[in-house]
Amino acid sequence: MMHVISVKVENRFGVLARVAGLFSARGYNIDSLTVSQTEHSDISVMTIVLTGDDRIIEQVKKQLNKLIDVIKVTDLTGHASVQRELALVKVNASPAKRTEVFQIAEIFKAQIVDISLKTIALEVTGDPERIDSFIELLRPYSIKEMIRTGRVSMARD
Amino acid sequence: MKISGAEILIESLKKEGVEVMFGYPGGVVIPIFHHIFDAPFRFILTRHEQGAVHAADGYARASGKVGVALTTSGPGATNAITGIATAHMDSVPLVVITGQVSTSMIGNDAFQEADTTGITRPITKHNYLVQDVNDLARIVKEAFYIASTGRPGPVVIDIPVDVSKGEAKFAYPDEVSLRSYKPVYKGHPVQIEKACRLIESSKRPVIYAGGGVISSNASDDLVAFVRKTGIPITTTLMGLGAYPETDRLSLKMLGMHGTFYANRAVHDSDLLIAVGARFDDRVTGNVNEFIPEAKVIHVDIDPASVSKSVQVDIPIVGDCKSVLHEMTKIVKPPQIQEWVEKILKIKEENPLTYGTAGTKIKPQMVIERIYELTKGAAIITTEVGQNQMWAAQFYQFTEPRSFISSGGLGTMGFGFPAAIGAQLARPDRRVIDIAGDGSIQMNIQELIVAVQHRLPIIIAILNNGFLGMVRQWQQLFWDKRYSHSCISFAPDFVKLAEAYGAAGIRIESRDEVDKAIKKALSIKDRPTILDFHVDREENVYPIIPAGKSVKEMITRELV
Ligand SMILES: Cc1ncc(C[n+]2csc(CCOP(=O)(O)OP(=O)(O)O)c2C)c(N)n1
């Protein structure tokens, strides 16, 4: 099962390496990882998405908690939370196809960030499923380049 | 007044009450050594950085204090790695200080630069690269605190040379405040209550105690708990000495080379009470067949150890000492006479034995004689391999911190430098390194250190001319192809001892064994090597082949 784990850490030299090293040393595979600043300059938040059975996820959380620089580990899976991701997608679109692409962009409230004779680059944000469907719809136009940020998450109150 | 980083380090170590430090100098730590020269604590110059870290480790295990080692950057730090990893696997509190190239040079592949914090990250409890001399005192304070609290472990402090030379005001913090690190010592009362109820209703309980009992100084509490409940107890290799093995309820060690009765009792139990132990694969064998019918109570200070390899029914996160103390107060003795009788009968019928036919010296015999002639009062360190297992099986450990061995990492070459540390920690005790002829050659250079400091350590080599444990596996599981496990091309250990200024005795027949041990025990001003030429192809039994269960235990030579 996929889990989204939010890890509050001391914003210090080497913290990312500690967390990343823990995953590689124990053979856990990360689907995505983002490191973000927070309202406190000395605290960062890592949002880690990974897939594994309950036993593995339990170990991951315990091992993360063991790291001295980790302040708090929250498993957002199963909790009400807001999840957001941003993607940049560049598609082939000759002038004849542009309108179709614009229409898709409008439905997803995507921004046009670059346009050339042959291509259009779009920026979209939303929850990861929304981004998945956006990308699916653009596939027929042949995607030249695509980058996703990985998600950031916050528990709802 | 401002003082240098090097002086701040020394002042901080003094504040921590450091009495002995082990290490080796080099370019970037000369500023530190400059002030160590007249520091009020003892500095032991080993002959290799691995030796320094193992010695600090042996000191820590024998004393319960934090062991401290100091090395230079680059090769000094990389030489320390095996020592650090050894301490990490066995949860030993160490502070290892390494020199580093100057902050402006870091990342430039400077002379003797190594990414020490990067290399040591997975083998330390925590590590620091000091980037500002103003942080140094706080970091030292935190390092000692982190190393010695919670589940103990090694902490590395990497100090660039410009930080050692830089200046700052010295103010040693009174307290550590780490919002992200707050080990839990007291077990949850509800969990403790539940555990006691489960114990009271159990019919076939067994206690399985590990190194955590020793590191939390909980032996007395464990003894009190066993006295009150009457539950039979087995220990891991790391737990040897946590409970007196001479007691009737002791089942001695369990696991791959544990006693038949300990493994049988654990396998047949309906309740396993794990205290400060981590269900290591050398203990469980095949986890699925380890305890088919048992519920599990697990007391451990490290939540990550709980339910890692074996599912636990009642986890109690807390310090073994405090939890055992609380449990002893409220638990009522379970009705288990029948079970205890049964287990004690199995114990009586299946003692650890070995064949005594022939005239050759049996290695097990050597351990038994050392036990008798030291009246069980020695501190035993071991190397790794058959020697380690025979020491564990045939010496009766009755006190915590009297058995010092690399359990988790299984580091050959650990025992002798660890003996140096242990002897410095406990000058009142005889320290004996039970060694193999292979392992002892891995850190033999430290012999000169023992001679220099007049440490009366006895190195008892069970000399079989083989990397015995490897040979045993090859014999049992790999068609007797002794590929590169024969080391009969060997130095003369007696001459070697003499070259270093130590005493050396070769023992080739059974009737010389006692005499030699007595002679060694009478030498009190220098180390002695006892080179026992033992039966070369003796094996360690019983053995549960890796990944198997007690049902597949091989108890004696198959012919
Ligand atoms: C540093 C290191 N290298 C290799 C091993 C693998 N190993 C485990 S036991 C053993 C043989 C040890 O031989 P010896 O010290 O002569 O002891 P014996 O088993 O004969 O008592 C070896 C090579 C190890 N544990 N540690």
Q: DSSP letters along B67-103, please?
A: EEEEE-STHHHHHHHHHHHHHHHTT--EEEEEEE--G
**Both A66 and A93 in a single domain?**
no
Amino acid B61 reads R
Q: Using CB atoms within 10 A of its CB, is residue B313 exposed (0-12), middle (13-18) or buried (19+)?
A: middle
- Apex CA B35: angle with CA B33 and CA B40, to 5°? 110
**Both A93 and A124 in a single domain?**
yes
**pLDDT (average), residues B62-73:** 98
What CATH code is carried by the domain that includes residue A59? 3.30.70.260
**For testing the chain B interface, which of A8, A64, A67, A68 should be mutated: the one with the most B CBs within 10 Å?**
A68
CB atoms B181 and A13 under 8 Å: no
A68 to chain B, any CB pair closer than 8 A? The answer is yes
C-alpha span between A13 and A11 (Å, rounded): 7
Task: Convert the pLDDT of each residue in B132-148 to its tens digit.
Answer: 999 999 999 999 999 99
Domain B2-169 is classified in which CATH homologous superfamily? Thiamin diphosphate (ThDP)-binding fold, Pyr/PP domains (3.40.50.970)
CATH topology of domain B189-349: Rossmann fold (3.40.50)
For residue B469, the CA-to-ligand 1 centroid distance in Å is 6
**Both A116 and A143 in a single domain?**
yes
What CATH code is carried by the domain that includes residue A120? 3.30.70.1150
C-alpha span between B66 and B270 (Å, rounded): 39
Determine whether the shortest distance from the Cβ of B538 to ligand 1 is under 6 A. no
ipTM rounded to 2 decimals: 0.86
Burial pattern B386-399, b for ≥16 Cβ within 10 A else e, equals bbbbbbbbbbbbbb
CB atoms B180 and A70 under 8 Å: yes
* Domain ranges, residue A135: 81-155
A100 to chain B, any CB pair closer than 8 A? The answer is no
Domain B363-540 is classified in which CATH homologous superfamily? Thiamin diphosphate (ThDP)-binding fold, Pyr/PP domains (3.40.50.970)
Helical spans, DSSP H, in B122-160: 136-148
For atom 11 of ligand 1, the residue with the nearest CA is B467
**Both A151 and A123 in a single domain?**
yes
Three-class secondary structure of residue B373 per DSSP: helix
**Both A60 and A109 in a single domain?**
no
pTM of the model: 0.95
Q: CATH 3.40.50.970 in chain B, residues?
A: 2-169, 363-540
- Strands B167-169, B2-4: pairing is antiparallel
For residue A18, give the nearest of B121, B303, B308 by CB distance. Answer: B121
Chain B residues inside the 8 Å CB shell of A17: 118, 121
C-alpha span between B283 and B274 (Å, rounded): 12
**pLDDT (average), residues B500-519:** 98
Q: Which of A75, A95, A124 is the last residue of a domain?
A: A75
Contact yes or no for B316/B323 (Cβ under 8 A): yes
Q: CATH 3.40.50.1220 in chain B, residues?
A: 189-349
Q: Which of A75, A98, A118 is the last residue of a domain?
A: A75
For atom 9 of ligand 1, the residue with the nearest CA is B385
Task: Convert the pLDDT of each residue in A143-154 to its tens digit.
Answer: 999 999 989 999
Question: How many domains, chain A?
Answer: 2
Burial pattern B220-249, b for ≥16 Cβ within 10 A else e, equals ebbbbbbeebebbbbbbbbbbbbbbbeeeb
**Both A127 and A150 in a single domain?**
yes
In this prediction, residue A29 carries a pLDDT of: 85
**Both A64 and A96 in a single domain?**
no
Three-class secondary structure of residue A5 per DSSP: strand
Q: Which of A75, A103, A120 is the last residue of a domain?
A: A75
- Strands B295-300, B314-317: pairing is parallel
Task: Convert the pLDDT of each residue in B358-379 to its tens digit.
Answer: 999 999 999 999 999 999 999 9
At residue A27 the predicted structure's pLDDT band, cuts being 50, 70 and 90, is: confident
Task: Convert the pLDDT of each residue in B446-486 to its tens digit.
Answer: 999 999 999 999 999 999 999 999 999 999 999 999 999 99
In this prediction, residue B558 carries a pLDDT of: 60
C-alpha span between B299 and B222 (Å, rounded): 12
For atom 17 of ligand 1, the residue with the nearest CA is B436
**Both A101 and A143 in a single domain?**
yes
Helix and strand totals (H; E) in chain A: 4, 9
> Tokens 């006295």 sit at which residue?
B227
